[in-house]
Structure 1
């Protein structure tokens, strides 16, 4: 079954998000674990979690994706910033175990002048410090557009991070279509080659989720500005090709386009109509 959802606000709880997802034709969704600019997270409401788990099972809501705040930077040269990343991720992973078997996605971070090799070492080191053999949550590294000193701008950088993680079964990758296109991977012109390269460098078995976004910017611009599906430089046909590619079509897809709930519903309907 084609699994697609959008980014929803977690402010009213998991059951509310589940009902919102269903109302727009989604069968999965993504949410921020806390304010995307970083703050203390709401306390877990165990009754809400239990009600959502029952609702999700009854309505076929698949694996959901939690997104770490944008301010989490595991490889900053500033020790205070790295400590914030450690505390935030540790708390998020603890909370995710109330909803076993789901995904937690984060931006690898920016090395802020230390160099990508040191950034990679620090990211892998944080994951080794926090991951536990008994956890059920899979942590995903997001592909990045390559602006500034971002780490994760290439498949090779992501592979290097993964290679440094001891509990390799607990980590994977979330591919963002806008980001990889802006980074210089031509998924619009040659999707086959990009997926083949991903498989060669990282392995398609490590690809767990896809952020499905058009781009406001041209190819290889190394920027990060999402656009509605079919209205940017990627174009609708790129997404038709992607969601029907047998190598990835069973993965969950998550919209992060500049839209409201009604707009997400229209995009989900559009993509469902193109799904074979």
Structure 2
């Protein structure tokens, strides 16, 4: 079975909360932040319900999970205080990760801000040398994430990732987290040349370094350097391309983690599409949702056929309009998925008793028919 899950909450009862949420989506893995990703506030280890969470994971068949380091860590910074905070806090996070029993902590390499890429790469390597030297008592790996290339962030190319690794003395504890949205936005062709991209990564870095794969669609065309995630099928990559990534023989055995956006008109009631995305990637929709779910998807298919709407064409043309026409964007800023949802509701295509989340689940499944 494909080892796939999502980013889940680590609030309240720590690992138990996270595992409970992951199980509700049908996950066989998951990813957590050990606290808010934007700050350094953390609960003590004995308040993280680690044993209770581990028991639920064992009962549910969840073995390997992943930790993500907070965004505030910037090892590429030229500012002494920022660099020192990054080194010290990353060491602390690695120790917490070890206590939880996790092997890989995903890290955004960093942004060089007012300097240049060469400085950033050297500074990151300097920081990683300090971090690894100070956490020798653990077996936790740092998984450098492939980045989209926005601003001055490092990791936008395989060569930059390799350059960092080469400059770290004890780099056996350095792994890589591939991110599909980021690689697409950085210019790598995952749609028509996945084999070529993986071969290039293997030559430059080595596929044996890949420990985690983040699976996200993108709101932008290839090479846009934007880093804006979309639900699977609702972006430029599409479900077919992402499914090929997840099922590619060279990537098997890794945890695949969804970081797709939560959906909903009311920001306070938004819900993730994780449950249906996981079922679609595993071909387990009927087992998860039942035959009536597919009947609803067929109703959506029939309705959009009468409107001559093809999923991929509609999604990509809408993103093109939103990207290139400021007046059109101002007049109707709705993203493709929201527009399609509104059509379904306006025409009463499905049972009115279905929740917004349930309708969007079915809409996400319809995307797969157009891929």
Bucket of the pairwise TM-score, normalised by the shorter protein: over 0.9
Structure 2 equivalent of residue 190 of structure 1? 193
148 and 213 in structure 1: CA distance in 2 versus 1, 3 angstrom threshold: same
**CA displacement, residues 74-108 of structure 1 (integer Å, 9 cap, x when unaligned):** 11122222122112201101111112342101111
Q: What value does the CA root-mean-square deviation take over the aligned residues? A: 1.7
For residues 211-250 of structure 1, the aligned pairs below 5 Å read 211-250=214-253
| Distance in 2 (alpha carbons) for counterparts of 1:67 and 1:150 | 17
Q: Is the 8 A contact 1:34 1:68 kept in 2?
A: no
| Distance in 1 (alpha carbons) for counterparts of 2:280 and 2:234 | 13
1:159 paired to 2:162: yes
Q: How much has 1:59 moved relative to structure 2? A: 2.2
For residues 80-159 of structure 1, the aligned pairs below 5 Å read 80-131=81-132, 132-159=135-162
| Distance in 2 (alpha carbons) for counterparts of 1:119 and 1:36 | 22
**CA displacement, residues 23-61 of structure 1 (integer Å, 9 cap, x when unaligned):** 110011111122121231111126711222232223221
The structure with the largest helix share of the pair is 2
Q: How much has 1:240 moved relative to structure 2? A: 1.7
Matched position secondary structure for 1:30: strand
Matched position secondary structure for 1:118: helix
| Distance in 1 (alpha carbons) for counterparts of 2:61 and 2:70 | 27
The structure with the largest strand share of the pair is 1
Q: Is the 8 A contact 1:101 1:136 kept in 2?
A: no
Matched position secondary structure for 2:49: helix
Unaligned runs of 5+ in 2: 263-269, 286-371
| Distance in 2 (alpha carbons) for counterparts of 1:7 and 1:109 | 21
Structure 1 equivalent of residue 65 of structure 2? 64
Structure 2 equivalent of residue 199 of structure 1? 202
Q: How much has 1:63 moved relative to structure 2? A: 1.4
| Distance in 2 (alpha carbons) for counterparts of 1:163 and 1:248 | 23
Structure 2 equivalent of residue 25 of structure 1? 26
**CA displacement, residues 3-41 of structure 1 (integer Å, 9 cap, x when unaligned):** 111111111210121121111100111111221212311
User: Which has the higher Rg, Structure 1 or Structure 2?
Assistant: 2
Q: Is the 8 A contact 1:101 1:138 kept in 2?
A: no
| Distance in 2 (alpha carbons) for counterparts of 1:207 and 1:49 | 26
| Distance in 1 (alpha carbons) for counterparts of 2:271 and 2:101 | 26
The answer to which structure, 1 or 2, has the higher relative contact order (CA under 8 A, 6+ apart) is 1
Answer with 160-169 or 18-27: which moved more: 160-169
Unaligned runs of 5+ in 1: none
Structure 2 equivalent of residue 265 of structure 1? 275
| Distance in 1 (alpha carbons) for counterparts of 2:183 and 2:240 | 16
Q: Is the 8 A contact 1:178 1:225 kept in 2?
A: yes
1:10 paired to 2:10: yes
Q: Is the 8 A contact 1:28 1:61 kept in 2?
A: yes
Q: How much has 1:124 moved relative to structure 2? A: 1.3
| Distance in 2 (alpha carbons) for counterparts of 1:14 and 1:100 | 11
251 and 41 in structure 1: CA distance in 2 versus 1, 3 angstrom threshold: same
Structure 1 equivalent of residue 44 of structure 2? 43
